[in-house]
Structure 1
Amino acid sequence: MTASSSNNFGLTERQAVIGTVGFYMLTALVMVSVNKWALNALEVPWLLLWCQMLIAVLLLKITHYAGLLKMPKIEMSVAKALTPLIAINVLGLGVNTLCLVYVDTSFYQIARGLVLPFTVIFAYVLLGQPSSHLVLGACFTVFCGFYTGVSTEINVSQLGIFFGIASSITTSLHAIVIKKSLPAVNNSSIDLVYYNNALSLMATTPIIFLSGESALVVERFQSQGFASFHQFLIAALVTGIFGFLVNLAGFMQISKTSPTTHMISGAVRGVLQTLLGYFAFHEVITTGRLTGIILILSGGALYTYAKDKEMKANSKPAYIPMTQQDLDGEDEDMDVENHKVGKA
Structure 2
Amino acid sequence: MPSFNLGLSERASTFCVISFYMVTALVMVSVNKWALNTLPLPWTLLWIQMIIAVFLLKVTQYTGLLKMPEIVAKTAKALIPLIAINVLGLGVNTLCLVYVDTSFYQIARGLVLPFTVFFAYVLLRQPSSKLVLASCFTVFCGFYTGVTSEISVSHLGIFFGVISSITTSLHAIVIKKSLGVVNNSTLDLVYYNNVLSLLAVTPLIVLTGESAEISYRLSNDGFEAFHTFLFAGLITGIFGFLVNLASFLQISKTSPTTHMIAGAVRGVIQTLLGYWAFNEIITTGRLLGIFLILSGGALYTWAKDKEMTAKDSAEPAYIPMTQQDIDGEEEDEEIDEDNRKA
Normalized against structure 1, the TM-score is what? 0.86
**Map of 1:7 onto structure 2:** none
**Map of 2:3 onto structure 1:** none
**Map of 1:150 onto structure 2:** 147
Q: CA 1:64–1:23 in 2, change beyond 3 Å: closer, same or farther?
A: same
Q: Conserved in 1, the CA contact under 8 Å of 2:172 and 2:251?
A: no
Q: CA 1:257–1:85 in 2, change beyond 3 Å: closer, same or farther?
A: closer
Q: Deviations over 1:218-246 (max 9, x none)?
A: 11111121111111111111111111111
**Map of 1:270 onto structure 2:** 267
User: Does 1:72 pair with 2:69?
Assistant: yes
User: Structure 1 residue 255: deviation in Å?
Assistant: 6.3
Q: CA 1:176–1:256 in 2, change beyond 3 Å: closer, same or farther?
A: closer
Taking the TM superposition and a 5 Å limit, the aligned residue runs for 1:284-299 are 284-299=281-296
Q: Distance in 1 between matches of 2:225 and 2:238?
A: 22
Q: CA 1:179–1:251 in 2, change beyond 3 Å: closer, same or farther?
A: closer
Q: Conserved in 2, the CA contact under 8 Å of 1:109 and 1:270?
A: yes
User: Structure 1 residue 312: deviation in Å?
Assistant: 2.1
Give the superposed CA RMSD. 2.8
Q: Indicate the larger mover: 203-212 or 63-72.
A: 63-72
Match of residue 183, structure 2, among 182, 186, 189: 186
Q: CA 1:255–1:187 in 2, change beyond 3 Å: closer, same or farther?
A: closer
Q: Conserved in 2, the CA contact under 8 Å of 1:115 and 1:172?
A: yes
User: Does 1:63 pair with 2:67?
Assistant: no
User: Does 1:224 pair with 2:209?
Assistant: no
Q: Distance in 2 between matches of 1:86 and 1:265?
A: 23
Q: Distance in 2 between matches of 1:295 and 1:161?
A: 18
Q: Conserved in 1, the CA contact under 8 Å of 2:205 and 2:211?
A: yes
**Map of 1:176 onto structure 2:** 173
Q: Distance in 2 between matches of 1:15 and 1:184?
A: 28
Q: Conserved in 1, the CA contact under 8 Å of 2:28 and 2:239?
A: yes
**Map of 1:205 onto structure 2:** 202
User: Structure 1 residue 321: deviation in Å?
Assistant: 9.3
Q: Indicate the larger mover: 267-276 or 242-251.
A: 242-251
Q: Conserved in 2, the CA contact under 8 Å of 1:260 and 1:308?
A: no
Q: CA 1:123–1:16 in 2, change beyond 3 Å: closer, same or farther?
A: closer
What is the identity percentage for the equivalent residue pairs of Structure 1 and Structure 2? 72
Q: Deviations over 1:276-323 (max 9, x none)?
A: 011100001111111001000111111111112222222334x77969
Q: Conserved in 2, the CA contact under 8 Å of 1:103 and 1:160?
A: yes
Q: Conserved in 2, the CA contact under 8 Å of 1:263 and 1:304?
A: no
AA aligned opposite 1:77: K
User: Does 1:23 pair with 2:20?
Assistant: yes
User: Structure 1 residue 82: deviation in Å?
Assistant: 1.6
User: Structure 1 residue 263: deviation in Å?
Assistant: 4.4
Q: CA 1:75–1:335 in 2, change beyond 3 Å: closer, same or farther?
A: closer
Q: CA 1:161–1:263 in 2, change beyond 3 Å: closer, same or farther?
A: closer
Normalized against structure 2, the TM-score is what? 0.87
Q: Distance in 2 between matches of 1:13 and 1:81?
A: 31
User: Does 1:282 pair with 2:279?
Assistant: yes
Match of residue 45, structure 2, among 45, 48, 67: 48
**SS of 1:56's equivalent?**
helix
Match of residue 240, structure 2, among 232, 243, 246: 243
**SS of 1:72's equivalent?**
coil
AA aligned opposite 2:100: V
Q: Conserved in 1, the CA contact under 8 Å of 2:144 and 2:289?
A: yes
Q: Deviations over 1:245-276 (max 9, x none)?
A: 11333344456667665444333211110000
User: Does 1:311 pair with 2:311?
Assistant: no
**Map of 2:121 onto structure 1:** 124
**SS of 1:285's equivalent?**
coil
Q: CA 1:109–1:185 in 2, change beyond 3 Å: closer, same or farther?
A: same
Q: Indicate the larger mover: 266-275 or 18-27.
A: 18-27
User: Does 1:163 pair with 2:160?
Assistant: yes
**SS of 1:196's equivalent?**
helix
Q: CA 1:97–1:259 in 2, change beyond 3 Å: closer, same or farther?
A: closer
**Map of 1:3 onto structure 2:** none
User: Does 1:99 pair with 2:96?
Assistant: yes
Q: Distance in 2 between matches of 1:212 and 1:338?
A: 84
Q: Indicate the larger mover: 19-28 or 284-293.
A: 19-28
**Map of 2:132 onto structure 1:** 135
Mark the runs of 5 or more structure 2 residues left unpaired by the alignment.
Answer: 1-6, 320-324
Q: Deviations over 1:112-159 (max 9, x none)?
A: 011111111111112211111111001000000000000111101000
User: Structure 1 residue 74: deviation in Å?
Assistant: 1.1
**SS of 2:70's equivalent?**
coil
Q: Conserved in 1, the CA contact under 8 Å of 2:217 and 2:225?
A: yes
Q: CA 1:312–1:122 in 2, change beyond 3 Å: closer, same or farther?
A: same
**SS of 2:60's equivalent?**
helix
